[in-house]
Chain A
Amino acid sequence: MGQKASSRLRITLSLILMIFLAVLVMIPFYFMIVSSFKSVADIFSNGLNVDINFSKMSLHSYETLWTNRNGIYWSWFKNSLIITVLETVLVLLFTSMVGYGLALYDFKGKTTIFAVVLIMMMVPSSILLLPLYKEVSQLGLMNTYAGVILPAIVPASSIFFFRQFCMGLSKEFAESARIDGAGEFRIFWQIYVPLMRPAFGAMTILTTMNAWNDFLWPMIVMKSDTNFVLPAGLMSAMTPYGNNYDLLFAGSVMSIIPILVVFVLNQNQFIEGLTVGGVKG
């Protein structure tokens, strides 16, 4: 078998597996999109289903989104956007620094600090809720974006990821740059940050996702429901007591879109961006 033919076969097989998985993954999503064009009454009368009947389907739910409760959906959307952007940028800055420091330097206390990072990563957030609430309120940060964001900007899991990624990078670049007289921060910024692009790509996507999906803490810190984030708002539609299911499906479709945009824009720039050397092994 020729080289070409075997690679074509390999690609075909890969594609078959990828398409198969993609179809499976999309099934629930298909339910969601179809339901978002249906009226609540229809969903409840017949149960959730994917029957497509254009005469009964409309954009009504999407219209309700913008008008319901004086357009509170926009307000949630805006809050989500602000919190997500701020949190993501700060998380990337701080955790890449820490991860880099832990991976590429040898210094006293390094193992201890790394162990603390790992340990803090494993503390269940549910038990911190009450004490953190007390602390944030004593610091006077209740009802501020700072109160929402500050406790979340140096997450241990993200440090761990950057550290792991940097463990794969060679220290030689730093050494030769030092000989050329470069400062330590410049080495980080101009040599290693570009090498860490795939890691930044992954972490941008994942931090954005986490910030966007996390709603309990923002809801607890913020006083007024107009200051909530999108998922919290959507969940308030999902009580057995109201009948706002209209909002729910359309709202979740709409809440996926911004992150999907970040993802689509970022993935090529970051994940595939770098193929230069600089890797040990």
Chain B
Amino acid sequence: MQSKRKIDWQKIAPYLFVSPFIISFLVFSLYPFINAIIMSFQQVNGFNDAKFIGFANYKQMFNDGDFYAALWNVVRYGFWTILILIPLPMLLAYLMNQKGIPFKGFFRSVYFVPVLTSSVVAGLIFKYAFSSEKTGVFNVWLSHIGVGPVDWLNSSGTAMFALVVIAVWRWLGVNMIYFLSGLQGISPELYESADMDGANGFQKFWYVTIPLLKPITIYVLTISIMAGFSLFNETYVYWGAQSPNNVGTTLVTLIYKAAFTNGNFGYSCTLGVALFVIVVVVNAIQTRAMGLFSDEG
């Protein structure tokens, strides 16, 4: 009798645990999401004035040169940020987690401060640093090796560099915290037994740390892909809504402009749906490759 009741609870419990998500999903996500998808097929002309126009918005998008420019920008940005913002914070977390490192708390705080800085203020400062003037911080550095001055923000390659620099500066500490928390879950015994097998620091990092951080790595990778494709703030503080030859145009820039400069919410939603589909597809491939839905991920 008693054991039967227990089994029932064990069956019901998971649904109770996930219920906050289901409620929030039904109340606050589903309606706006469906609404946005509907709007992507509409021409919206202000309050109570929307009409269905079939796939016209989608057609417009595929004929929009800016769309491809934006896509190319976010793909490149995503590539570079992931290339840097996963290994570096992971290594940093590993280093800081070693026994005998002094001032750990201080270092963690330092790395974490950038993300707390107002993005406007950060943008203002970085714009000065990347100024085309000889007095800009980066041009001063370059002048020591006899190069420059470079007009950083006005051409494609250097503009991407400026974007990646501000992203790394801002998110290094955050990703480090994810990995640090993942490292706490790894039993010290594993390192001890690796020690006994005579493993050196690098081998321990490679054979113990990286595999056991896999679930967290998948997490960081997934949100990084999403963040990469959704890039906006950093470009907005550098260039605003218009950048020369689209060097800073992203998908969200286009979404923002469609809605808030052109008042075209329909097209804005179309671009949003496209962004959504792209991110889902890329992450589906990624998570499948990493085995997220298996028991290990």
Contact surface of A with B, Cβ cutoff 8 Å: 6-7, 10-11, 14-15, 17-18, 21-22, 24-29, 31-32, 47-48, 94-95, 97-98, 100-102, 105, 107, 110-111, 113-114, 116-124, 126-132, 134-135, 150-151, 153-154, 156-157, 159-161, 164-165, 167-169, 178, 181, 183-185, 188, 197-199, 201-202, 205-206, 209, 212-213, 231, 234-235, 238, 248-249, 251-252, 255-256, 259-260, 263-264, 267-268, 270-275, 277, 279, 281
> In the complex, what distance in Å separates the CA atom of A64 from the CA atom of B259?
36
Are the CB atoms of B216 and A164 closer together than 8 Å?
yes
Once the chains bind, are B181 and A201 in contact (CB under 8 Å)? yes
B284 CB, min distance to chain A CBs, angstroms: 9
Question: In chain B between 204 and 253, which residues have their CB closer than 8 angstroms to a CB of chain A?
Answer: 212, 215-216, 218-219, 222-223, 226, 230, 232, 252
Contact assessment for B17 and A97 in the assembled complex, using a CB-CB cutoff below 8 Å: yes
Q: Is B62 close to A, CB under 8 A?
A: no
Question: Are A252 and B112 closer than 8 Å at their CB atoms?
Answer: no
A–B Cβ pairs within 8 angstroms, 24 of them: A6-B200, A22-B111, A28-B114, A28-B126, A28-B169, A47-B135, A102-B17, A113-B18, A120-B29, A121-B222, A121-B223, A130-B35, A130-B265, A131-B32, A164-B219, A167-B296, A198-B184, A202-B177, A209-B116, A234-B120, A252-B118, A256-B116, A273-B184, A279-B187
B219-A260 in contact (CB<8A): no
Give chain A's interface secondary structure class: helix
Q: Which of A127, A132, A267 contacts B268 (CB 8 A)?
A: A127
Contacts of A256 in B (CB 8 A): 113, 116-117
Please name all residues of chain A whose beta carbon is closer than 8 Å to the beta carbon of B23 when the two chains form the complex: 154
Interface residues of B in 176-204 (CB under 8 A from A): 177-178, 180-182, 184-190, 200-201
Which of B107, B169, B215 contacts A168 (CB under 8 A)?
A: B215
Inside 8 A of A126's CB, which chain B residues have their CB? 232, 252, 255-256, 259, 268, 272
Q: Does B82 sit at the interface, judged by CB under 8 A?
A: no
CB distance from B30 to the nearest CB of A (A): 9
**Contact flags B102-131 to A (C-beta < 8 A → 1, else 0):** 101101111111111111111011101100
Is B275 positioned at the interface, with any CB of A under 8 Å from its CB? Answer: yes
| Chain B residue contacts of A105, Cβ below 8 A | 10, 13-14, 17
Cβ–Cβ < 8 Å partners of A118 in chain B:
222, 283, 287
> B178 — nearest CB in chain A belongs to which residue?
A202
- Once the chains bind, are A11 and B98 in contact (CB under 8 Å)? yes
- CA distance in complex: A134, B185 (Å): 43
- Docked-complex contact B18 and A164, CB < 8 angstroms: no
Chain B residues positioned under 8 Å from A181 (CB to CB): 6
Contacts of A116 in B (CB 8 A): 25
Query: Does B95 contact A17, Cβ atoms closer than 8 Å?
Result: yes
Would B21 and A267 count as touching, CB distance under 8 A? Answer: no
In contact, B269 and A267 (Cβ under 8 angstroms): no
CB contacts (< 8 Å) of B283 on chain A: these are 118, 122
Tell me whether A135 and B25 are in contact (CB under 8 A): no
Q: Quick one: CB contact mask for B283-295 with A, threshold 8 Å, 1 for yes?
A: 1000100000101
Q: Within residues 51 to 95 of chain B, which ones have a CB less than 8 A from any CB in chain A? A: 92, 95
B150: Cβ under 8 A from any A Cβ:
no
Give the CA-CA distance A263 to B174 in the complex, in Å.
12
Taking CB atoms, residues of chain B closer than 8 Å to A7 are: 100
Q: Does B159 contact A (CB under 8 A)?
A: no
Which residue among B15, B212, B218, B283 has the maximum number of chain A CB atoms within 10 Å of its CB?
B15
A276 to chain B, nearest CB (A): 9
Q: Is B297 engaged at the interface, CB distance under 8 Å to the other chain?
A: yes
Residue of B nearest to A195 (CB): B185
Given contacts A47-B135, A201-B181, A268-B105, contact A279 B186 (CB under 8 A): yes
Q: Which chain B residues border A150 with CB–CB below 8 Å?
A: 28
Q: Which of B14, B121, B200 contacts A107, CB < 8 Å? A: B14
Question: Judging by beta carbons under 8 Å apart, are B36 and A183 in contact?
Answer: no
- The CA of A256 and the CA of B21, in the complex, are separated in Å by 31
B17: A residues at CB distance < 8 A: 97-98, 100-102, 105, 188
Are A165 and B13 in contact, CB atoms less than 8 angstroms apart? no
Are A128 and B280 in contact, CB atoms less than 8 angstroms apart? no
Contacts of A212 in B (CB 8 A): 116
Q: Chain A's nearest CB lies how many Å from the CB of B216? A: 6
Q: Is the CB of A121 within 8 A of B226?
A: yes
